Amino acid sequence: MRFSVGVALAFVFLFSATGSAKAETLSGKVEVKTVVNKVKKRRPSREDQDPYGYDDDNTSRRKPREKPRDEACAVVVSVINAPKGKARPGGRMQQLNQTFIPFVLPVVVGSKVNFPNDDTIYHGVYSESEARPFELPQYAKGESRSLAFDKPGVVEIFCHIHAHMNAYIVVLETSFYAQPGEDHVYQITDLPPGKYQVKAWHPRLGGKVQMVEIKSGQPATLDFTL
């Protein structure tokens, strides 16, 4: 009798212990204090002879951005040593007003990314990155192309026709990542308890890694300044 009570108590203890190991939310604020050069021009290519009549060095032809880029929103916060986590939908890299939108797109390894051309002009999207070199021959407004990203790394993207067009696809091994919103706050949900290295990365400023411990029942915060 005493034995079975002991077993029952042990069972209750184990059950409550595992039941309480609850995934938590990691959040924080990201501030970018370093001045970032807004435009990074690719090296000239043969298309710069301008066969299509879009002289991108003539800035008067370029449509202005609707508002200046908020660099904190370009940051990707990811948990380096986290489990892979749940699948997330692939991404979308739009071409609009001679701009790639978004400037930085994080995706999980194996994701597909669509590249819709929503401009009235043609673009020649390409990357010479090690992680995913590609070339998308020009296609018209309303058309799209799709590519899979199967290798982790940073894929820097340019346009053959418009030298000022530049964006980044960040291919991550984990789905525990987030980008800050307009309030510069990021939020990574459902993170199992554990000790983690968390990286905040900006394409022009590089990354910064900090440690955090996620404890069951305690949402954690971690702020970054780049």
Question: What beta strand segments (E) does the chain contain?
Answer: 24-31, 76-79, 91-92, 94-96, 99-101, 104-108, 111-114, 123-127, 134-139, 146-149, 153-159, 166-172, 177-178, 185-191, 194-202, 206-214, 220-221, 224-225
Binding mask 57-86 for Cu ion (x = CB under 5 A): ------------------------------
Q: Per rule CB under 5 A, is residue 191 in the interface with Cu ion?
A: no
Q: Per rule CB under 5 A, is residue 162 in the interface with Cu ion?
A: yes
Q: Which residue has the tokens 């042990």?
A: 10
Scanning 20-28, 85-93, 164-172, 176-184 for contacts with Cu ion by CB under 5 A, the matching segment is 164-172
* Residues in 118-147 at the binding interface with Cu ion, rule: CB under 5 A: 123
The least distance separating Cu ion from the CB of residue 99, rounded to whole angstroms, comes to 9
Q: Per rule CB under 5 A, is residue 163 in the interface with Cu ion?
A: no
Q: Per rule CB under 5 A, is residue 167 in the interface with Cu ion?
A: no
Q: Per rule CB under 5 A, is residue 161 in the interface with Cu ion?
A: yes
The least distance separating Cu ion from the CB of residue 128, rounded to whole angstroms, comes to 16
Q: Which residue has the tokens 């411990």?
A: 213
Would you state the structure tokens that stand for residue 139, as one six-digit string?
């296609």
Q: Per rule CB under 5 A, is residue 159 in the interface with Cu ion?
A: yes
161 or 178: CB nearest Cu ion:
161
Contact 196, 79 (CB under 8 A): yes
The least distance separating Cu ion from the CB of residue 133, rounded to whole angstroms, comes to 18
Q: Is 201 exposed, middle or buried, given 0-12, 13-18 or 19+ CB atoms closer than 10 A?
A: buried
Scanning 1-9, 82-90, 162-170, 192-200 for contacts with Cu ion by CB under 5 A, the matching segment is 162-170
Cα separation, 219 vs 210, in Å, equals: 16
The least distance separating Cu ion from the CB of residue 121, rounded to whole angstroms, comes to 7
Q: Is 109 exposed, middle or buried, given 0-12, 13-18 or 19+ CB atoms closer than 10 A?
A: middle
Interface ranges with Cu ion (CB under 5 A): 123, 159, 161-162, 165
